[in-house]
Each structure stands twice: as C-alpha cells, then as structure tokens.
Amino acid sequence: MTFNTASFIIQVTALVVVLAALHKPLGIYLARAFEGTTSNRPERLFYRLAGIDAGTEQTWPVYLRSVLAFSAVSILMVFGLQRLQGILPGSGSLPGVDPWIAMNTAISFVTNTNWQTYVPETTVGIFVQMALLAVQNFLSAAVGIVVVVALIRGIARTRTDRLGNFWVDLARTSFRVLLPIALVGAVVMVLGGVVQNFWSTEVVNQASGVSQVIPGGPVASQEAIKVLGTNGGGYFNANSAHPFENPNAFISLFQVFLILLIPSALPYAFGRMVGDQKQGYTVAAVMGILWLASTALMGWATAAGQGTATAAAGGLGEGFEQRLGPVPSAIFATSTTLTSTGAINVAHDSLPPLAGGVAMVNMMLGEVAPGGTGSGLYGLLILSIISVFIAGLMVGRTPEYLGKKIGPTEMKLAAMYILVTPTLVLALSGITVILPDIMANAPASGPHQFSEVLYAFTSGANNNGSAFGGITTSGPFLSVMMGLAMLLGRFLPIVLVLALAGSLARQVKIPASAGTVPTHGPLFAGLLLGVTVIFTALSYFPALALGPLAEGLLK
C-alpha cells in the first residue's frame, strides 16, 4: 500500500475546519450545562432515587470521596456481574468470565482505559456489553469531565471551600452532554453502515449450504460512546479495524471527529467559566499545535516505513486496514493516542518503528492534545501552572495564574501530578523486563520486545488502552501489574487535581498588575508547548532510546 499525501492533507484539514466551527457553540453549551442552576426531569429522578440534595455543594475532600466511592462500587459491580455472566440473560451461553480477566476488565473500563485482555466475541455476551461495559463508557467519561469542572471552579472562585456537587455534575454531564451527542453519533453510524441489531450470529449461506458464524449485536450504540467518551474498548476484538465497527472511510473519519469533539471544545468552556476567553483560546491553540505536529509526524513516519519488520514485509501491509489504506490509520492512531481513547483501526504493533514511537510519545505527553474527556484539559492546566511558575522565576515575580498565587502547596501538588505517570510507567516496565518468565508474554525479541512492554505500561498508566499486539496480560502477574498501572494512573492524578482545586478556591483573587506574567497569547503558548515537550523528553527519552528509536534506526 502507498501513502497518499494529498488525501492525508484533505482529511486533516476537514477535521480542523469542522472542529473549529463547533469549538465555540459546543463550548458555550458545555459551560451552560456545568453552570446551570436548574435540573431537568431525568436529573431530578436520579437525585430522588439516590437521595441526593442537589442544592448542597461539597468541599474537595468530600468531592474526592464521592469520586472514589462511586468508582470503587462500579469496579465491584462490573467484576461481580462478569463472574455471574453464565446465569444472566443475554449471555449467549457464555460462562462467567475468568477472574483475572474480569478484574482487569472492571478496572480498565471504570478508569476510562478500556484495555481489553479478552476476545469480546468469545468472552462476553450482549448483557455484559450493554449493561456493564457501555454504561461504564458513559460514566468513566463523565468522571473525567466533572473533575476538570471542579478544577475550573477552584480557579474561578474565591474565599470558598466548595467545588460543586459530584453527583449533580455527574448527572448533568451524562444526561445533557454524553447521552444526546452519543445518540446522534449512533444514528449517523447506523446510517453509515455500522451494525446495530440483536440477531443470532449463526446463519446459513444459501448458495453453498455451509453454516457460517457472522457476529452481530448493538455495535453502533456502543461505538458512539466508545469514541465520544475517549474510551476505546471495541465491541469486536479487531476494534475499529472490524468492518462492522468501521465499514468505510467516512465512518473512520467520523469516529476521529467524535474522539476530538468534547476535548477540543472544553477549552472554550474553561475560558467562559473563568471569565477570560483568551485563556481558553491559548489552551486550545496549544492542543491544536501539538495535535497537528504529531499527526504530521505520524504521517511522515508511516509513509517512510523505516524498520526491519516493514522491510521484511515488503512495505506497509500486514496489520493495516486494507480497505481504507494507511492514511486513515495514521490519523486514527495519532488521535487515539493523543487522547485516552486507545481505539485502533491499525495494529499498532505493525506500525513502522518510528510511527510506533510517535504513538508512545503521544501518550507520554500526558494525552493533553486535546486529551481525554476532561483529563486532557486538567493535565494541560497543571502544565500551565508549572509554566507560569517557571516564567515567574525567570523574571523574578511571584507566579500567579488567573489571579491565584502559585505557592509551595500548589507547586508540590503540580509537581507530584507530573511525576505520577512517568514513575508508574518506568517502574512497572523495569520490574517486568527483569523477569524472564514474564517477558515470555512478549514474544518479540530485541528492541521491539522492550517496546511492547514499555507501550503496555505507558498505555495503562495513561488510561489509553491501546497496545502493541504481541504482549498478553491475561495471566495473574501482568493482570495485577496492569491493574495497578490503570488504577494509580487514574486516581492519583485526580486526588492531586482536586486538592489543587481546593487550595486555589480558598484564595483571594489578586488583580493583575504590571508584574503579572500574562498567561495568554503566543509567548505563553510557546512556553507551555516547551514545558510539555521538554518534561516528556526528560522523563522518557532514555526508555525510548532502548525501544522504538533503536529499532527504527536499525538497518
């Protein structure tokens, strides 16, 4: 297959134009949903059934306990019902899920990672897909959004210890944002050819009389929230490379559009909620520049096709979407690794080594371009606080961000935030590679074997969920290690973000002065870009040199 540069440019341009057109209207809608004071009928019913006082706001520790308690109950419920699948309706005669796989899957979907260590067609039935996994696609995406909303409130408010109500934010995000957009997305996908049915999977070929197994199910409805919520777990094992999930070039590009839609609009909502739209535009510009640069680099690396494996295969072919060609694969791979989606329409293990390295670096950036639903924005806001602190040191001024002083407490929380993921990735990868029996689960050799392990833990700790296909984590050791990576990579940053939000909310807002470092415009955007890239390089470059860089430079 050849790489069509003109098609690549046209598709990227189309995405940019449509997302730019929706940036403001969707951003306004999001801000109104989060700032509203009235509740609609589904929300009131939810509050009544759950015994929630929608008028009561929470301090950051209470907000955090609500997040953690809700997530813990979700994990236990998803785990337990998977184990009971054999006696549940809609199981298709499938037995209960293996306990290690059930544990890994429960953690994976609740943390918005959607790492799949199982084959959906032979492991889970329609009930588990719809009542457990699809529901968690909504809820885990909503959790990421409500956390960034709490952080924005912490920045915008003064002299208060209240950040809102987690249950109210969760209901509004689910009922007003995710459900209606996912419904429209599912309809478009059905019209575009994505399967949506409850038919039996066994049919008879009338021409030959041979019985064939053709999978079916409510695919479009799960596919829509899979990409909209930056989740990534496929209804089928081949994920978005499966023709029933991704039947044509339009649907492939539409899925990328849904992946980027909410994360790219949240910066406008941020600017509106803090009362300074220039701040939102600056954050959005940084996200856009990083996405465009990564997409261009991925396109170049895919087209160049360096690497011994690619050469041995005679060029791009194995693992790529044969119906669509490598252009949609490059755009899809970039967008799913720059967000926490992890869906694939190309086997990332089959990407040329340098292209696989780009996918890894995308996740190592913290998935902030534009990142996952909510998590991308709060990650970039943390980096903005670090950037303004560095700028303050350079000019000898007390660092402030939107009128809030960045003191020792705020900097400790921000520093711990950016250290969590690299520590998890490098520590867990290091432990794994020194255990020969465990490394047998990554059947490749040389630099590529290390790349498979590094990619797996980078994906898990960043709650992405994509994988280099060679490694399997269905055994006890890697199931536990990946479970730790996903849990700690999700909830430790959330703890730090909410603590930071509480610290900022208690402060009095300081008016801007001649000594205030502007946190909008090209200069600050350039600083933020530099901080994001340099911190990543300092943390991960040695590991990358042992894996994809070494493999890509081999002749």
Q: What percent of the chain has pLDDT over 70?
A: 93
> Both tokens of residue 154?
């912490």
Residue range 110-115: mean pLDDT, rounded: 94
- Give the whole-angstrom CA distance, residue 261 versus residue 373: 9
- Give the whole-angstrom CA distance, residue 553 versus residue 376: 32
pLDDT of residue 366: 87
pLDDT of residue 307: 47
Mean confidence (pLDDT) of the chain: 89
Residues 6+ apart with CB under 8 A from 290: 338, 365, 368, 369, 529, 532
Instruction: Return the minimum-mean-pLDDT range out of 111-125, 324-338, 347-361.
Output: 347-361
- Give the whole-angstrom CA distance, residue 61 versus residue 144: 17
Is a pLDDT exceeding 50 seen at residue 197?
yes
Phi/psi at 204 (5° precision): -115, 125
pLDDT of residue 56: 93
Sign of CA dihedral 10, 15, 16, 22: positive
Q: What is the pLDDT of residues 505-518, one digit of tens each?
A: 999 998 877 778 88
Q: How many CA atoms lie within 13 A of 173 on its CB side?
A: 26
pLDDT of residue 448: 76
pLDDT of residue 317: 58
H helices of 340-404, in order, are: 353-364, 375-395
Q: How many CA atoms lie within 13 A of 551 on its CB side?
A: 29
Instruction: Return the minimum-mean-pLDDT range out of 226-235, 331-340, 397-406.
Output: 397-406
Residue range 353-358: mean pLDDT, rounded: 85
Residue range 473-486: mean pLDDT, rounded: 86
> Both tokens of residue 486?
């996903």
Distance of CA 146 to the CA centre of its chain: 15
Residue range 464-484: mean pLDDT, rounded: 81
Spatial contact of 308 and 8, defined as CB atoms under 8 Å apart: no
Using CA atoms in the order 365, 370, 371, 376, what is the torsion angle rounded to 10 degrees?
Answer: 90
Q: Higher-confidence residue: 318 or 259? A: 259
- Give the whole-angstrom CA distance, residue 149 versus residue 164: 9
Using CA atoms in the order 58, 63, 69, 73, what is the torsion angle rounded to 10 degrees?
Answer: 90
Work out the angle between the directed axes of helices 476-505 and 99-110 (0-180°, nearest 10).
20
Q: What is the pLDDT of residues 78-111, one digit of tens each?
A: 999 999 999 988 887 899 999 999 999 999 999 9
Distance of CA 98 to the CA centre of its chain: 26
Work out the pLDDT band at 324, boundaries 50, 70, 90: confident
Q: What is the pLDDT of residues 420-445, one digit of tens each?
A: 999 999 999 999 888 877 777 666 66
pLDDT of residue 442: 66
> Both tokens of residue 212?
């064939």
Q: Higher-confidence residue: 309 or 48? A: 48
- Give the whole-angstrom CA distance, residue 225 versus residue 223: 6
Nearest to 82 by CA among 110, 56, 61, 54: 110
Q: Is 232 left (phi over 0), alpha (psi -120 to 50) or beta?
A: left
Is a pLDDT exceeding 70 seen at residue 206?
no
Nearest to 274 by CA among 416, 192, 409, 151: 151
